[in-house]
Chains A and B, each alone.
Chain A
Amino acid sequence: MEQKEEKVVFERPDALLPVVTNFCPGCTHGIVHRLVAETIDELGIEGKTVGVTPVGCSVMGYNFFGCDMVEAAHGRAPAVATGIKRVNPDNVVFAYQGDGDLASIGTAETVHAATRGENITVIFINNAIYGMTGGQMAPTSLPHQVTQTSPYGRDTASAGYPVRICEMLSTLDGPAYLERVTVDTPANVRKAKKAIKKAFQNQVDGVGYSLIEVVSTCPTNWGMTPQESFTWMRENMLPYYPLGVYRDVLAEGHESVAAAAAERAKDSKIVAEGGAA
């Protein structure tokens, strides 16, 4: 019987530089980096993509992605991405942020880039802890979760409750697409890839602001093996942060973000009449 010549069916994407990352063993950042790079390759956009990585474990992203990269101050990636995108609207601009960055110090930048409907793509890694600084309580740390700065467990009486970003942003008119995914199994990795690719395709097509939240793990600071971390994530995080699509204006049957926003506010005179002459 003739032997069919085998082909490479899985390899490192071109957009991901052949560099060993700073991520700990089993950290899901690496999977998401690869999904972003595969997307850039498949859409053929590496030459016009500019990535923005702010402070946190994502901070070294400029060493890993082959596209032009801008390092941003803590929390400010959406503002920096706004500046880049406004100057060169033909560039594909993405921000890659963790939970402390996006949902705590950068909440204002996140909310306002979203409500402006900036045509950018945001990748949000939610692992319920500050990884880079050694495991402090994050805005997305769960009630009773033990961290370095909530050693008795997050006490909601004093530390309040976690922020659900996709749910919060879904109340705004600006976003085109919001989805929460995870990467704990090959099937979920494929789903996450599909969402990330759509979030980039939306930008290429001018659909608008897209954010993909990836519920992730931090084995090192959670003090667990990568395998135990996925179990903990499934048992504790996924019920708190349900996976799914939180906004998709096109799939919801709207022509555009603007059309969806106008429909929602059609009883407002100034919206209906188009404002001052």
Chain B
Amino acid sequence: MSEKVLMKGNEVLAESAMRAGCKYFFGYPITPQTELSAYMSKHMPKIGGTFLQAESEVAAINMVYGAAAAGARVMTSSSSPGISLKSEGVSYIAGADLPAVIINVMRGGPGLGSIQPSQSDYWQATKALGHGDFQMVVYAPSTVQEMADYVAKAFDVADEYRTPVMILLDGLLGQMMEPVELPEPKADIPDKPWACTGTKGERAHNVVNSLYLDADLLDQTNRERYERYDKIKAAEQISEEYLCDDADIVVVAFGAAARIARNAVNAAREQGIKAGLFRPITLWPFPVDALEQTVAHAKGYLTVEMNMGQMVDDVRLVVAGRAPVEFYGRTGGVIPTPAEVLDAIVAFDQKVGE
């Protein structure tokens, strides 16, 4: 066990990636994730790795595609507008079944939006980061420790299922300093016999490709990929339940919003409201199985998000009309206070109780 150190979230993402065997990082400057790139540029050369500042986010994600095709553990990071530019490459990565890790330190949108924290890319990350039928595993850490842990896990999951994996957080978490126990450096990275490293005259050529001119073959390939998604849905859902066992009001929140919601849940309990917090850690696959467990006793669900109400859709899909599901949120970089979330819980509790 290594000792705890005090580190900034963005830097922990970088350090944890390198410890997970990521020796290649391709990025482009954007606020609020620049410390991650700066950390990589400083430390990658020391481990014989590559930090490359690309000419654009588009180029960076395609360098990731190339490095992943060559069998490496590789990562890129950006923030909302930059992630939009990476969406082309992410679709190709998914279509070519390549493992890669993408960090999105979200800021307010749409357009140039703001540089303050936001969760407004939930839909983009979980529903449609790029064209075509594909999904991507999305982790939403809410502590610096979880950032360290889930970056490490992201590389393993990416390799196991040959899929892009996203770490979705916001500028609040990226800038946060907390004590963290960094993961042990990973020595063994899985073999990738499909990688394009040269045939060495010993095998038929490998091809990394997402083009299928034969419609039946593409249909079959997509179906096989979705069978893999079913395995991910069955094995990889992660959530944290806090005071949910007897909760009347289940507050659902992820990432930074969950930290605030937790305080508000405690305050609600002090007022005699049986509130609990359900915190999805995987946003895709959404932790539907664990949330389903709460439906038997919950009288209502309130999602707290730093957006105009996006995850609330996924909660409604699980609850399926069996209880009211409402949303409270702020946007534009406004971080909701525990007091205003408490007010929202109290108001929702009264409405549900009527």
- Which A residues lie within 8 Å of B63 (CB)? 79-80, 82-83, 86
- Which A residues lie within 8 Å of B62 (CB)? 72-73, 76, 79-80, 83, 109
- Which B residues lie within 8 Å of A52 (CB)? 66
**A109 CB contact (under 8 Å) in B52, B59, B196, B197:** B59
Decide: A68 near B74, CB < 8 A? Known: A79-B62, A109-B55.
no
Chain A min CB distance to B67 (Å)? 4
Q: Are A80 and B69 in contact (CB under 8 A)?
A: yes
- Which B residues lie within 8 Å of A69 (CB)? 196, 205-209
Among residues of B, the one whose C-beta sits closest to the C-beta of A66 is B205
Decide: A87 near B67, CB < 8 A? Known: A49-B198, A70-B208.
yes
Decide: A71 near B205, CB < 8 A? Known: A47-B200, A83-B24.
no
Q: Are A87 and B70 in contact (CB under 8 A)?
A: yes
Q: Are B209 and A112 in contact (CB under 8 A)?
A: no
- Which A residues lie within 8 Å of B196 (CB)? 50, 68-70, 84
Decide: A62 near B66, CB < 8 A? Known: A47-B199, A83-B26, A91-B197.
no
Q: Are B197 and A50 in contact (CB under 8 A)?
A: yes
Mask of A70-102 contacts with B, CB within 8 angstroms, 1/0: 111100100111111111100100000000000
Among residues of B, the one whose C-beta sits closest to the C-beta of A112 is B55
A48 close to chain B: CB less than 8 A: yes
Chain A min CB distance to B218 (Å)? 14
**B68 CB contact (under 8 Å) in A76, A83, A108, A112:** A83
Mask of A32-51 contacts with B, CB within 8 angstroms, 1/0: 00000000000000111110
**B198 CB contact (under 8 Å) in A67, A109, A111:** A67
Among B67, B70, B207, find the residue whose CB has the most chain A CB atoms closer than 10 A: B70
Decide: A71 near B210, CB < 8 A? Known: A79-B54, A112-B59.
yes
Report the interface size class on chain B.
35 or more
In the assembled complex, the Cα of A84 lies from the Cα of B52 at a distance in Å of 13
Chain A min CB distance to B91 (Å)? 9
Chain A min CB distance to B77 (Å)? 16
In the assembled complex, the Cα of A109 lies from the Cα of B54 at a distance in Å of 9
Decide: A87 near B64, CB < 8 A? Known: A65-B205, A79-B54, A82-B52.
no
B58 close to chain A: CB less than 8 A: yes
**A73 CB contact (under 8 Å) in B54, B67, B92, B200:** B92
* 8 Å CB interface, B45-93 against A: 50, 52, 54-56, 58-60, 62-72, 74, 88-89, 92
Q: Are B207 and A59 in contact (CB under 8 A)?
A: no
Decide: A62 near B64, CB < 8 A? Known: A68-B198, A80-B69, A91-B198.
no
- Which A residues lie within 8 Å of B202 (CB)? 47
In the assembled complex, the Cα of A66 lies from the Cα of B203 at a distance in Å of 10
Among residues of A, the one whose C-beta sits closest to the C-beta of B92 is A73
In the assembled complex, the Cα of A109 lies from the Cα of B88 at a distance in Å of 15
Mask of A48-61 contacts with B, CB within 8 angstroms, 1/0: 11101000000100
How many residue pairs between the two chains, A and B, have CB atoms under 8 Å in the bound complex?
130
- Which B residues lie within 8 Å of A86 (CB)? 24, 50, 52, 63, 67
Chain A min CB distance to B350 (Å)? 53
Q: Are B67 and A59 in contact (CB under 8 A)?
A: no
* 8 Å CB interface, B179-223 against A: 196-202, 205-211
Interface size on A, residues (CB 8 A): 33
In the assembled complex, the Cα of A70 lies from the Cα of B207 at a distance in Å of 6
Chain B min CB distance to A238 (Å)? 31
Decide: A70 near B198, CB < 8 A? Known: A79-B66, A83-B70, A87-B72.
no
- Which A residues lie within 8 Å of B89 (CB)? 73, 76
- Which B residues lie within 8 Å of A73 (CB)? 62, 65, 88-89, 92
Chain B min CB distance to A74 (Å)? 9
B96 close to chain A: CB less than 8 A: yes
Mask of B282-322 contacts with A, CB within 8 angstroms, 1/0: 00000000000000000000000000000000000000000
**A83 CB contact (under 8 Å) in B66, B197, B206:** B66
**B199 CB contact (under 8 Å) in A46, A80, A109:** A46
Mask of B11-50 contacts with A, CB within 8 angstroms, 1/0: 0000000000000101000000000000000000000001
- Which A residues lie within 8 Å of B69 (CB)? 70, 80, 83-84
Q: Are B24 and A87 in contact (CB under 8 A)?
A: yes
* 8 Å CB interface, A153-204 against B: none
- Which B residues lie within 8 Å of A82 (CB)? 52, 63, 66
Mask of A216-255 contacts with B, CB within 8 angstroms, 1/0: 0000000000000000000000000000000000000000
Among A62, A70, A112, find the residue whose CB has the most chain B CB atoms closer than 10 A: A70
14 sampled A-B residue pairs with Cβ under 8 A: A50-B197, A62-B205, A65-B205, A66-B199, A68-B206, A69-B209, A76-B59, A79-B58, A79-B63, A82-B52, A86-B24, A87-B72, A87-B74, A88-B70
- Interface residues in chain B, defined as those with a beta carbon under 8 Å from any beta carbon in chain A: 24, 26, 50, 52, 54-56, 58-60, 62-72, 74, 88-89, 92, 96, 196-202, 205-211
Give me 15 other A-B pairs in contact (C-beta within 8 A), A68-B196, A83-B63, A84-B66 excluded: A46-B199, A46-B201, A47-B200, A50-B196, A62-B209, A69-B209, A72-B92, A79-B60, A79-B66, A82-B52, A83-B65, A83-B66, A86-B50, A91-B197, A112-B59
What 3 pairs between A and B have smallest CB-CB spacing?
A: A83-B66, A79-B62, A83-B67
